[in-house]
Amino acid sequence: MDKLNKDDYRKLVSVPVIVAALGYFVDIYDLLLFGIVRVVSLKSLGVADHELLGTGESLIRFQMSGLLIGGVLWGILGDKRGRLSVLFGSILLYSLANIGNGFATSVTQYAWLRFIAGVGLAGELGAGITLVAEILPTRLRGYGTTLIASIGLLGAVFANIIAARFEWQTTYFIGGGLGLLLLLARVSVFESGVFKQMEGIDVQRGNFFQFFNNRKRVIKFLGNILIGLPIWFVIGILITFSPEFARALGIQTVISAGDSIMYCYIGLSIGDIVSGIVSQKLQSRKKVVLLYIGMTFLSMMVYLFFPFKTSFSFYLLCAVMGFCIGYWALFVTIAAEQFGTNLRATATTTVPNFVRWTVVPVTLVFEALRDNIGVINGALTVGVATIVIACGALYAIEETFSKDLNFVEED
């Protein structure tokens, strides 16, 4: 692997890369804000203590369903109209929805505004990764997407800091304001040259159903989704509901969901940097993803069966789990590299949002299991299932390191 030179570094800190990273920063802030202010916001809306877990699960399902729908819509738009149209449209929608969230006076209003915000949030990451993957040279692609993810994931840290200092309504106003400010930075970003070259080619663009009319594409599409299952099991179940897990594990000190999320995402950001660098050195995406899935399994077992009795040790374990699921950037990069230019934005936008949406069935299964076999055994069953499925999916998809992205998907 050649060392990076000055020109390489200039390309990695170019305006499109930095703006994409800042966009993902705001995306993560808004995406995880509900998990951080879940308890205080729901209590202020009149939700009883014994209903916090169930109501929280319900609102998360609303938000993630919005991500699923938005992922398809923004992905299709990105391949039909260009990557920048998604970056502008999606950020405007979720910014306005988050400002609206600050005015919510009932759980019903809260839920629908989280749904609308989810639709908007669905477009940010996929469009940014697609744009950067196409404008950077092949050998810098992994570094660029890793930079976006590692900076963006720190939005969770910022969200927790803001939530600790302001009323929950204000935190949503700040998130919406950050999004609107980001629109100004978008003006200086240029469209992908690879996308522009495709404009003169007579080929279907952004046809979502094209993923399913070819056996090879079906395997690639579903495989890319399933390798990300353990990531959002950890975030959506073990971390988001960490106060409930802490009580089930017999931890006497009060555990904050916001702090758990913050420490998890610090670890995740570091893990993404390390996984991206290791992937570049090994010249392989799949080997590194397999390593991280294995580490995720081990960290889950420690979390569930070797409880630490202090808040410090618990939060440290949250950070370790975050590091172990730190293959998110690689996962999204693989999705961008698997498909041709005419389907790339659709794939890169839908795949991570389908993974985020898996929190919906996962929480439903977990909810059913915890009522019968308990919180710990329910989480163990679901967690092991996600690991097994992810390993099978990883085996089924192709290695994409150094793949030339200047190609299209034929009918």
Residue ranges covered by each domain of the chain: 6-186+207-396
pLDDT of residue 140 exceeding 90: no
Which residues are CB-neighbours of 314 under 8 A, at least 6 positions away?
A: 242, 246, 251, 253, 255, 260, 307, 308
Q: Check: pTM over 0.85? Answer yes or no.
A: no
The more confidently predicted of residues 240 and 321 is 321
CATH level 2 (architecture), domain 6-186+207-396 = Up-down Bundle (1.20)
Q: What is the rounded CA–CA span in Å between residue 369 and residue 237?
A: 13
pLDDT score for 169:
95
Q: What is residue 188's three-state secondary structure?
A: coil
Picking from 69, 180, 193, 74, the residue whose alpha carbon sits closest to that of residue 131 is 193
pLDDT of residue 1 exceeding 50: no
**DSSP string of 203-232?**
---S-GGGGGSSHHHHHHHHHHHHTTHHHH
Q: What is the rounded CA–CA span in Å between residue 321 and residue 310?
A: 17
pLDDT of residue 99 exceeding 90: yes
Report, as an integer, the average pLDDT of 252-279.
89
pLDDT score for 195:
47
Report, as an integer, the average pLDDT of 248-258.
86
**Residue 153 main-chain phi, psi, to 5 deg:** -65, -20
Range in 55-69, 204-218, 261-275, 319-333 the model is least confident about: 204-218
Q: Burial of 171 by CB count in 10 Å (0-12 exposed, 13-18 middle, 19+ buried)?
A: buried
Report, as an integer, the average pLDDT of 122-131.
74
Q: Which of 94-103, 121-130, 354-363 has the highest mean pLDDT?
A: 94-103
Picking from 81, 71, 87, 83, the residue whose alpha carbon sits closest to that of residue 205 is 81
Give, in order, the Cα–Cα distances in Å from 92 to each of 80, 181, 215.
Answer: 19, 10, 37
Radius of gyration of the chain (CA): 20
The 8-class DSSP code of residue 235 comes to I
Q: What is the rounded CA–CA span in Å between residue 124 and residue 119?
A: 10
Report, as an integer, the average pLDDT of 29-47.
90
Q: What is the rounded CA–CA span in Å between residue 268 and residue 150?
A: 8
Give, in order, the Cα–Cα distances in Å from 301 to each of 231, 321, 371.
Answer: 15, 10, 21
pLDDT of residue 370 exceeding 90: no
Q: What is the rounded CA–CA span in Å between residue 110 and residue 94?
A: 14
* Mean pLDDT of all residues belonging to the chain: 84
pLDDT, tens only, 151-178: 887 888 899 899 999 999 999 999 999 9
CB 16 within 8 A of CB 189: yes
Structure tokens at 161: 């800091």
